[in-house]
Amino acid sequence: MSIIKEELDSTWNDKPFKNREEVKTEIRDCGRFAGISHYACFIFAALGVIGDVVNITLVLESMSWFLLAIVAGLNAIVGHMHVVVAKHLLGTEAEDKKE
């Protein structure tokens, strides 16, 4: 039990990022993920609208495309929030180095 407690204590005491390059890599990767999810959201919504207007089934029903658009939009929000937090931590670290 003490091994787990020591591991958790060491994990919680570490900084969220090891160095600035790790933060920049994290921002770039999460930004890419958010962008892909954002475009997927628009594509899914467009497929739902087109399927509903034309009154045909494009592999899935229109409501399923709209639900996929909502899920992709929520995934995009997660990616964007991660970018915001990483940029905040990067800025906080830069201010700490000035002092």
- How is residue 19 annotated by DSSP? S
Can you give the pTM of this predicted structure? 0.67
| pLDDT per position as a tens digit, 71-91 | 999 999 988 888 888 778 776
| pLDDT per position as a tens digit, 42-57 | 999 999 999 888 888 8
Give one word for 55, left, alpha or beta, with left for phi > 0 and alpha for psi -120 to 50.
left
Of 4 and 24, more confident: 24
Of 64 and 85, more confident: 64
Max Cα-Cα span within the chain:
64
35-39 mean pLDDT: 92
